[in-house]
Amino acid sequence: MSDHQNSKDPGSIETVLTHHGRVPEDQFGFVNTPVYRGSTVLFRSLADIEAQQQRFLYGRAGNPTTESVESVITELEGAYRTRLVPSGLAAITIALLSCLKSGDDLLITDSAYEPGRKFADGFLERMGITARYYDPRIGSGLAELMQPNTRAVLAESPGSITFEVQDIPALAAAAHAGGARLIVDNSWASPLYHVPLSLGADIVVHAGTKMFVGHSDAFAGTISTTETAWADVERVRALLGFFTSGDEAFLVARGLRTLAIRMKEHQQRALEIARWLEGQPEVLRVLHPALPSHPDHALWQRDFTGSGSLFGLLLRPAPRAAIAAFVDHLQLFSMGYSWGGYESLCIPVDPRRARSAVPWNEEGNLFRLHIGLEGIDDLKADLAAALERYAAAR
Ligand SMILES: *Cc1c(COP(=O)(O)O)cnc(C)c1O
Protein backbone atom coordinates (compact mmCIF):
# COMPACT_ATOMS: atom_id res chain seq x y z
CA MET A 1 0.00 0.00 0.00
CA SER A 2 2.71 2.41 0.84
CA ASP A 3 4.95 4.68 -1.09
CA HIS A 4 7.78 4.51 1.46
CA GLN A 5 10.07 2.36 -0.57
CA ASN A 6 11.14 4.38 -3.53
CA SER A 7 12.42 7.85 -3.50
CA LYS A 8 14.58 7.68 -6.63
CA ASP A 9 13.26 8.72 -10.02
CA PRO A 10 11.66 5.58 -11.43
CA GLY A 11 12.59 6.19 -15.09
CA SER A 12 11.20 3.94 -17.80
CA ILE A 13 8.69 1.13 -17.33
CA GLU A 14 11.45 -1.48 -17.67
CA THR A 15 13.44 0.24 -14.95
CA VAL A 16 10.43 0.47 -12.64
CA LEU A 17 9.84 -3.26 -13.09
CA THR A 18 13.44 -4.20 -12.34
CA HIS A 19 14.36 -1.71 -9.62
CA HIS A 20 11.17 -0.65 -7.86
CA GLY A 21 9.83 -2.27 -4.70
CA ARG A 22 13.12 -3.66 -3.43
CA VAL A 23 15.63 -2.14 -1.05
CA PRO A 24 18.70 -4.38 -0.74
CA GLU A 25 20.11 -2.28 2.15
CA ASP A 26 17.09 -3.38 4.19
CA GLN A 27 17.77 -7.05 3.34
CA PHE A 28 21.47 -7.43 4.22
CA GLY A 29 22.31 -6.68 0.59
CA PHE A 30 20.21 -9.47 -0.91
CA VAL A 31 18.71 -8.36 -4.19
CA ASN A 32 15.09 -9.36 -3.60
CA THR A 33 12.62 -8.55 -0.87
CA PRO A 34 12.21 -11.99 0.72
CA VAL A 35 9.01 -13.73 1.80
CA TYR A 36 7.83 -12.14 5.01
CA ARG A 37 5.55 -14.39 7.02
CA GLY A 38 4.00 -12.87 10.08
CA SER A 39 0.90 -11.96 11.96
CA THR A 40 2.21 -10.17 15.06
CA VAL A 41 4.31 -7.06 14.65
CA LEU A 42 5.97 -5.93 17.87
CA PHE A 43 5.89 -2.48 19.48
CA ARG A 44 8.64 -1.27 21.73
CA SER A 45 6.71 0.96 24.10
CA LEU A 46 3.29 2.12 25.21
CA ALA A 47 3.97 5.36 23.37
CA ASP A 48 4.65 3.41 20.15
CA ILE A 49 1.47 1.33 20.37
CA GLU A 50 -0.56 4.46 21.12
CA ALA A 51 0.96 6.42 18.26
CA GLN A 52 0.29 3.69 15.62
CA GLN A 53 3.00 5.26 13.49
CA GLN A 54 5.06 2.15 12.79
CA ARG A 55 5.34 1.18 9.15
CA PHE A 56 3.67 -2.17 9.92
CA LEU A 57 1.13 -2.72 12.68
CA TYR A 58 -0.35 -6.15 12.05
CA GLY A 59 0.36 -8.68 9.31
CA ARG A 60 -3.12 -8.67 7.83
CA ALA A 61 -2.63 -5.09 6.66
CA GLY A 62 0.46 -6.05 4.67
CA ASN A 63 4.16 -6.73 5.03
CA PRO A 64 7.31 -5.76 3.14
CA THR A 65 6.75 -8.48 0.51
CA THR A 66 3.18 -7.43 -0.33
CA GLU A 67 4.30 -3.81 -0.30
CA SER A 68 7.06 -4.55 -2.78
CA VAL A 69 4.39 -5.55 -5.32
CA GLU A 70 2.00 -2.73 -4.47
CA SER A 71 4.59 -0.02 -4.98
CA VAL A 72 5.50 -1.32 -8.45
CA ILE A 73 1.87 -1.42 -9.62
CA THR A 74 1.17 2.01 -8.13
CA GLU A 75 4.02 3.42 -10.18
CA LEU A 76 2.97 1.68 -13.41
CA GLU A 77 -0.72 2.58 -13.11
CA GLY A 78 0.02 6.17 -12.08
CA ALA A 79 -2.15 5.47 -9.05
CA TYR A 80 -2.36 7.02 -5.61
CA ARG A 81 -2.03 3.61 -4.00
CA THR A 82 -2.45 -0.11 -4.70
CA ARG A 83 -3.58 -3.09 -2.68
CA LEU A 84 -2.55 -6.63 -3.33
CA VAL A 85 -5.51 -8.97 -2.73
CA PRO A 86 -5.86 -12.77 -2.92
CA SER A 87 -7.26 -13.05 -6.47
CA GLY A 88 -8.42 -11.09 -9.48
CA LEU A 89 -11.99 -11.85 -8.50
CA ALA A 90 -11.37 -10.45 -5.01
CA ALA A 91 -10.03 -7.27 -6.65
CA ILE A 92 -13.32 -6.94 -8.55
CA THR A 93 -15.57 -7.67 -5.57
CA ILE A 94 -13.70 -5.31 -3.22
CA ALA A 95 -13.67 -2.56 -5.84
CA LEU A 96 -17.44 -2.93 -6.34
CA LEU A 97 -18.20 -3.01 -2.62
CA SER A 98 -16.08 0.11 -2.13
CA CYS A 99 -18.53 2.07 -4.32
CA LEU A 100 -21.90 0.52 -3.47
CA LYS A 101 -24.39 0.36 -0.64
CA SER A 102 -27.93 -0.91 -0.35
CA GLY A 103 -30.28 0.90 -2.74
CA ASP A 104 -27.52 1.73 -5.25
CA ASP A 105 -27.33 0.75 -8.89
CA LEU A 106 -24.41 -0.73 -10.83
CA LEU A 107 -23.71 -0.82 -14.57
CA ILE A 108 -21.54 -3.66 -15.88
CA THR A 109 -20.19 -4.24 -19.36
CA ASP A 110 -21.88 -7.18 -21.04
CA SER A 111 -18.39 -8.46 -21.88
CA ALA A 112 -17.31 -8.66 -18.23
CA TYR A 113 -15.44 -11.57 -16.69
CA GLU A 114 -18.25 -13.95 -15.80
CA PRO A 115 -17.56 -14.51 -12.08
CA GLY A 116 -17.84 -10.72 -11.63
CA ARG A 117 -21.31 -10.89 -13.15
CA LYS A 118 -22.19 -13.72 -10.81
CA PHE A 119 -21.09 -11.64 -7.83
CA ALA A 120 -23.33 -8.79 -8.97
CA ASP A 121 -26.33 -11.00 -9.73
CA GLY A 122 -25.98 -13.46 -6.86
CA PHE A 123 -24.59 -11.34 -4.05
CA LEU A 124 -25.03 -7.61 -4.64
CA GLU A 125 -28.67 -8.12 -5.65
CA ARG A 126 -29.28 -9.79 -2.31
CA MET A 127 -27.93 -6.65 -0.63
CA GLY A 128 -30.46 -4.50 -2.47
CA ILE A 129 -28.08 -3.31 -5.20
CA THR A 130 -29.35 -3.51 -8.78
CA ALA A 131 -26.97 -4.64 -11.52
CA ARG A 132 -27.64 -3.75 -15.15
CA TYR A 133 -25.58 -4.63 -18.19
CA TYR A 134 -24.46 -2.34 -21.00
CA ASP A 135 -23.21 -2.80 -24.54
CA PRO A 136 -19.38 -2.75 -24.35
CA ARG A 137 -19.38 -0.44 -27.40
CA ILE A 138 -21.81 2.05 -25.82
CA GLY A 139 -19.21 4.80 -25.21
CA SER A 140 -20.84 8.13 -24.32
CA GLY A 141 -24.27 6.46 -24.71
CA LEU A 142 -23.69 5.24 -21.15
CA ALA A 143 -25.07 8.62 -20.02
CA GLU A 144 -28.56 7.50 -21.06
CA LEU A 145 -28.38 4.44 -18.81
CA MET A 146 -27.26 6.32 -15.72
CA GLN A 147 -29.83 6.56 -12.95
CA PRO A 148 -29.74 8.94 -9.97
CA ASN A 149 -28.64 5.98 -7.79
CA THR A 150 -25.96 4.59 -10.15
CA ARG A 151 -22.74 4.62 -8.15
CA ALA A 152 -20.40 2.31 -10.06
CA VAL A 153 -19.58 1.31 -13.62
CA LEU A 154 -17.53 -1.83 -14.19
CA ALA A 155 -15.64 -1.98 -17.50
CA GLU A 156 -13.23 -4.52 -18.87
CA SER A 157 -11.25 -3.53 -21.93
CA PRO A 158 -11.02 -5.52 -24.02
CA GLY A 159 -13.40 -8.19 -22.73
CA SER A 160 -11.44 -11.40 -22.22
CA ILE A 161 -13.83 -13.57 -24.26
CA THR A 162 -15.23 -11.28 -26.96
CA PHE A 163 -12.52 -8.58 -27.10
CA GLU A 164 -14.57 -5.40 -27.53
CA VAL A 165 -12.47 -2.33 -26.69
CA GLN A 166 -14.21 0.23 -24.50
CA ASP A 167 -14.08 3.99 -24.77
CA ILE A 168 -12.73 4.65 -21.27
CA PRO A 169 -12.67 8.50 -21.48
CA ALA A 170 -16.32 8.52 -22.66
CA LEU A 171 -17.38 6.02 -19.96
CA ALA A 172 -15.52 8.03 -17.31
CA ALA A 173 -17.21 11.27 -18.37
CA ALA A 174 -20.69 9.68 -18.26
CA ALA A 175 -20.03 7.93 -14.95
CA HIS A 176 -18.65 11.06 -13.27
CA ALA A 177 -21.47 13.27 -14.56
CA GLY A 178 -23.87 10.90 -12.80
CA GLY A 179 -21.85 10.67 -9.59
CA ALA A 180 -20.51 7.15 -10.18
CA ARG A 181 -17.00 5.70 -10.15
CA LEU A 182 -15.50 3.89 -13.11
CA ILE A 183 -13.71 0.61 -12.38
CA VAL A 184 -11.63 -0.90 -15.19
CA ASP A 185 -10.33 -4.47 -15.39
CA ASN A 186 -6.98 -3.97 -17.13
CA SER A 187 -5.74 -7.56 -17.04
CA TRP A 188 -5.40 -8.03 -20.81
CA ALA A 189 -3.05 -5.18 -21.69
CA SER A 190 -1.33 -4.82 -18.30
CA PRO A 191 -0.25 -1.32 -17.26
CA LEU A 192 2.52 -1.57 -19.83
CA TYR A 193 0.12 -1.02 -22.70
CA HIS A 194 -2.94 0.66 -21.17
CA VAL A 195 -3.24 3.06 -18.23
CA PRO A 196 -6.95 3.57 -17.47
CA LEU A 197 -6.44 6.01 -14.57
CA SER A 198 -4.77 8.38 -17.04
CA LEU A 199 -7.92 8.12 -19.20
CA GLY A 200 -10.29 9.06 -16.40
CA ALA A 201 -10.96 5.77 -14.56
CA ASP A 202 -11.13 5.87 -10.74
CA ILE A 203 -10.15 2.29 -9.93
CA VAL A 204 -8.09 -0.24 -11.90
CA VAL A 205 -8.13 -3.93 -11.10
CA HIS A 206 -5.89 -6.74 -12.30
CA ALA A 207 -5.99 -10.47 -12.24
CA GLY A 208 -2.36 -10.60 -11.10
CA THR A 209 -2.76 -14.36 -11.48
CA LYS A 210 -2.37 -13.88 -15.22
CA MET A 211 0.44 -11.74 -16.69
CA PHE A 212 1.96 -10.44 -13.43
CA VAL A 213 2.62 -13.92 -12.04
CA GLY A 214 3.26 -15.23 -15.55
CA HIS A 215 3.92 -18.85 -14.59
CA SER A 216 0.46 -20.27 -13.73
CA ASP A 217 1.58 -20.99 -10.18
CA ALA A 218 -0.03 -18.38 -7.90
CA PHE A 219 -3.17 -16.32 -7.34
CA ALA A 220 -3.26 -12.58 -6.82
CA GLY A 221 -5.21 -9.46 -7.66
CA THR A 222 -4.43 -5.78 -7.43
CA ILE A 223 -6.59 -2.70 -6.92
CA SER A 224 -5.10 0.68 -7.79
CA THR A 225 -7.00 3.90 -7.30
CA THR A 226 -6.98 7.66 -7.51
CA GLU A 227 -6.53 9.54 -4.24
CA THR A 228 -10.30 10.12 -4.01
CA ALA A 229 -11.26 6.47 -4.38
CA TRP A 230 -8.55 5.06 -2.12
CA ALA A 231 -10.06 5.37 1.36
CA ASP A 232 -13.23 3.46 0.40
CA VAL A 233 -11.28 0.61 -1.18
CA GLU A 234 -8.90 0.26 1.76
CA ARG A 235 -11.74 0.42 4.30
CA VAL A 236 -13.69 -2.36 2.59
CA ARG A 237 -10.59 -4.53 2.18
CA ALA A 238 -9.68 -4.11 5.84
CA LEU A 239 -13.24 -4.68 7.08
CA LEU A 240 -13.58 -7.88 5.06
CA GLY A 241 -10.26 -9.19 6.35
CA PHE A 242 -8.64 -9.84 2.98
CA PHE A 243 -4.99 -10.71 3.28
CA THR A 244 -2.40 -11.85 0.75
CA SER A 245 0.46 -13.99 1.99
CA GLY A 246 4.10 -13.10 1.57
CA ASP A 247 4.56 -16.35 -0.35
CA GLU A 248 2.05 -15.34 -3.02
CA ALA A 249 3.34 -11.77 -3.05
CA PHE A 250 6.88 -13.03 -3.63
CA LEU A 251 5.75 -14.91 -6.74
CA VAL A 252 3.99 -11.81 -8.07
CA ALA A 253 7.07 -9.66 -7.41
CA ARG A 254 9.24 -12.25 -9.12
CA GLY A 255 6.94 -12.32 -12.15
CA LEU A 256 6.89 -8.54 -12.39
CA ARG A 257 10.68 -8.38 -12.83
CA THR A 258 10.32 -9.94 -16.29
CA LEU A 259 6.88 -8.57 -17.19
CA ALA A 260 8.13 -6.11 -19.82
CA ILE A 261 10.13 -8.67 -21.74
CA ARG A 262 7.40 -11.32 -21.44
CA MET A 263 4.66 -8.96 -22.59
CA LYS A 264 6.76 -8.01 -25.60
CA GLU A 265 7.22 -11.65 -26.57
CA HIS A 266 3.59 -12.61 -25.89
CA GLN A 267 2.42 -9.61 -27.89
CA GLN A 268 4.63 -10.36 -30.89
CA ARG A 269 3.78 -14.05 -31.00
CA ALA A 270 0.06 -13.52 -30.47
CA LEU A 271 -0.01 -10.97 -33.30
CA GLU A 272 1.94 -13.16 -35.68
CA ILE A 273 -0.33 -16.12 -35.02
CA ALA A 274 -3.47 -13.96 -35.20
CA ARG A 275 -2.41 -12.59 -38.60
CA TRP A 276 -1.57 -16.04 -39.89
CA LEU A 277 -4.90 -17.43 -38.65
CA GLU A 278 -6.80 -14.71 -40.51
CA GLY A 279 -5.64 -16.30 -43.75
CA GLN A 280 -6.67 -19.87 -42.91
CA PRO A 281 -9.72 -21.35 -44.67
CA GLU A 282 -11.66 -22.55 -41.60
CA VAL A 283 -11.39 -19.12 -39.93
CA LEU A 284 -14.33 -16.72 -40.03
CA ARG A 285 -12.81 -14.02 -37.85
CA VAL A 286 -9.93 -13.40 -35.47
CA LEU A 287 -10.95 -11.24 -32.50
CA HIS A 288 -7.77 -9.30 -31.77
CA PRO A 289 -7.96 -5.51 -31.25
CA ALA A 290 -4.52 -4.91 -32.79
CA LEU A 291 -5.67 -6.33 -36.15
CA PRO A 292 -7.01 -3.71 -38.59
CA SER A 293 -9.98 -6.04 -39.20
CA HIS A 294 -11.14 -5.62 -35.58
CA PRO A 295 -14.16 -3.29 -35.29
CA ASP A 296 -12.54 -1.40 -32.38
CA HIS A 297 -9.09 -1.18 -33.91
CA ALA A 298 -9.15 2.65 -34.05
CA LEU A 299 -10.07 2.89 -30.37
CA TRP A 300 -7.34 0.42 -29.48
CA GLN A 301 -4.85 2.51 -31.47
CA ARG A 302 -5.96 5.66 -29.67
CA ASP A 303 -5.78 4.34 -26.10
CA PHE A 304 -3.34 1.40 -26.06
CA THR A 305 0.38 1.21 -26.76
CA GLY A 306 0.46 -2.55 -27.22
CA SER A 307 -1.56 -5.74 -27.05
CA GLY A 308 -1.81 -8.86 -24.96
CA SER A 309 -1.39 -12.59 -25.36
CA LEU A 310 -5.05 -13.42 -25.56
CA PHE A 311 -7.45 -13.32 -28.51
CA GLY A 312 -10.51 -15.00 -29.96
CA LEU A 313 -10.72 -17.34 -32.92
CA LEU A 314 -14.05 -17.80 -34.64
CA LEU A 315 -14.24 -20.89 -36.85
CA ARG A 316 -16.89 -21.85 -39.42
CA PRO A 317 -20.02 -23.46 -38.00
CA ALA A 318 -19.44 -27.14 -37.25
CA PRO A 319 -20.83 -29.77 -34.91
CA ARG A 320 -19.40 -30.59 -31.49
CA ALA A 321 -17.30 -33.38 -32.99
CA ALA A 322 -15.31 -30.79 -34.93
CA ILE A 323 -14.68 -28.76 -31.76
CA ALA A 324 -13.46 -31.93 -30.08
CA ALA A 325 -11.28 -32.78 -33.10
CA PHE A 326 -9.76 -29.29 -32.86
CA VAL A 327 -8.89 -29.24 -29.16
CA ASP A 328 -8.51 -32.89 -28.15
CA HIS A 329 -5.33 -33.61 -30.09
CA LEU A 330 -3.43 -30.37 -29.69
CA GLN A 331 0.22 -31.09 -28.86
CA LEU A 332 1.42 -27.77 -27.41
CA PHE A 333 -1.76 -25.81 -26.68
CA SER A 334 -3.50 -27.15 -23.59
CA MET A 335 -7.05 -26.67 -22.42
CA GLY A 336 -7.67 -24.95 -19.11
CA TYR A 337 -8.97 -21.83 -17.44
CA SER A 338 -6.83 -18.81 -16.74
CA TRP A 339 -4.06 -17.51 -19.00
CA GLY A 340 -0.91 -15.41 -18.73
CA GLY A 341 1.57 -18.23 -18.18
CA TYR A 342 4.52 -19.15 -20.39
CA GLU A 343 2.49 -22.04 -21.85
CA SER A 344 -0.08 -21.71 -24.63
CA LEU A 345 -3.75 -22.41 -24.00
CA CYS A 346 -6.76 -22.94 -26.21
CA ILE A 347 -10.28 -23.30 -24.91
CA PRO A 348 -13.73 -23.34 -26.56
CA VAL A 349 -15.92 -20.51 -25.21
CA ASP A 350 -19.58 -19.64 -25.61
CA PRO A 351 -20.45 -15.97 -25.01
CA ARG A 352 -24.17 -16.69 -25.60
CA ARG A 353 -24.57 -18.02 -22.08
CA ALA A 354 -23.67 -14.94 -20.09
CA ARG A 355 -24.79 -12.08 -22.33
CA SER A 356 -27.90 -10.07 -21.57
CA ALA A 357 -27.52 -6.54 -23.03
CA VAL A 358 -26.28 -7.40 -26.52
CA PRO A 359 -26.83 -10.98 -27.57
CA TRP A 360 -23.88 -12.74 -29.21
CA ASN A 361 -25.23 -13.63 -32.62
CA GLU A 362 -22.07 -14.60 -34.45
CA GLU A 363 -22.26 -17.86 -36.33
CA GLY A 364 -19.56 -20.42 -35.77
CA ASN A 365 -17.51 -21.79 -32.90
CA LEU A 366 -15.45 -19.45 -30.75
CA PHE A 367 -12.15 -20.41 -29.15
CA ARG A 368 -9.94 -18.37 -26.86
CA LEU A 369 -6.19 -18.60 -27.39
CA HIS A 370 -3.42 -17.55 -25.04
CA ILE A 371 -0.13 -17.50 -26.93
CA GLY A 372 2.75 -18.62 -24.75
CA LEU A 373 6.49 -18.58 -25.20
CA GLU A 374 6.96 -21.77 -27.23
CA GLY A 375 8.60 -21.69 -30.66
CA ILE A 376 6.30 -19.81 -33.00
CA ASP A 377 6.58 -22.33 -35.84
CA ASP A 378 5.75 -25.17 -33.46
CA LEU A 379 2.62 -23.32 -32.34
CA LYS A 380 1.56 -22.67 -35.93
CA ALA A 381 2.08 -26.32 -36.85
CA ASP A 382 -0.04 -27.38 -33.88
CA LEU A 383 -2.85 -25.06 -34.95
CA ALA A 384 -2.53 -25.97 -38.63
CA ALA A 385 -3.03 -29.64 -37.77
CA ALA A 386 -5.99 -28.74 -35.55
CA LEU A 387 -7.60 -26.74 -38.37
CA GLU A 388 -7.22 -29.71 -40.70
CA ARG A 389 -8.89 -31.99 -38.17
CA TYR A 390 -11.67 -29.41 -37.75
CA ALA A 391 -12.24 -29.20 -41.51
CA ALA A 392 -12.33 -33.00 -41.78
CA ALA A 393 -14.94 -33.28 -39.02
CA ARG A 394 -17.12 -30.43 -40.26
C1 LIG B 1 -8.92 -14.46 -14.58
C2 LIG B 1 -9.51 -13.13 -14.66
C3 LIG B 1 -10.01 -12.51 -13.51
C4 LIG B 1 -10.03 -13.20 -12.17
O5 LIG B 1 -8.75 -13.50 -11.69
P6 LIG B 1 -8.54 -14.69 -10.62
O7 LIG B 1 -7.20 -14.43 -10.08
O8 LIG B 1 -8.66 -15.97 -11.40
O9 LIG B 1 -9.62 -14.56 -9.60
C10 LIG B 1 -10.52 -11.24 -13.62
N11 LIG B 1 -10.55 -10.60 -14.80
C12 LIG B 1 -10.07 -11.16 -15.94
C13 LIG B 1 -10.12 -10.39 -17.21
C14 LIG B 1 -9.54 -12.44 -15.90
O15 LIG B 1 -9.09 -13.01 -17.02
Q: What is the pLDDT of residues 97-116, one digit of tens each?
A: 999 999 999 999 999 999 99
C-alpha 105/C-alpha 148 separation (Å) is 9
pLDDT at 47: 98
Is 1 a residue whose pLDDT tops 70?
no
Whether the pTM exceeds 0.75: the reply is yes
Domains and CATH numbers, the chain: 2-257 (3.40.640.10), 260-393 (3.90.1150.10)
DSSP result, 284-345: EEEE-TTSTTSTTHHHHHHH-S---SEEEEEEPP--HHHHHHHHHT-SS-B--S---SSS-E
- pLDDT tens profile 45-102: 999 999 999 999 999 999 999 999 999 999 999 999 999 999 999 999 999 999 999 9
Amino acid at 130: T
Residue to mutate (ligand 1; options 85, 92, 113; most atoms within 8 A of CB):
113
Q: Tell me which residues have their CB closer than 6 angstroms to ligand 1.
A: 87-89, 113, 156, 160, 185, 187, 207, 209-210, 219, 221, 338
pLDDT at 11: 78
Residue whose Cα lies nearest atom 6 of ligand 1: it is 88
pLDDT band of 357, cuts 50, 70, 90: very high
pLDDT at 10: 63
pLDDT at 7: 47
DSSP-based three-state secondary structure for 383: helix
Q: Can you say how many angstroms the Cα of residue 168 is from the centroid of all Cα atoms in its chain?
A: 15
Mean pLDDT of 347-366: 95
Tell me, in angstroms, the distance from the centre of ligand 1 to residue 43's CA: 38
Is 342 a residue whose pLDDT tops 50?
yes
Tell me, in angstroms, the distance from the centre of ligand 1 to residue 88's CA: 5
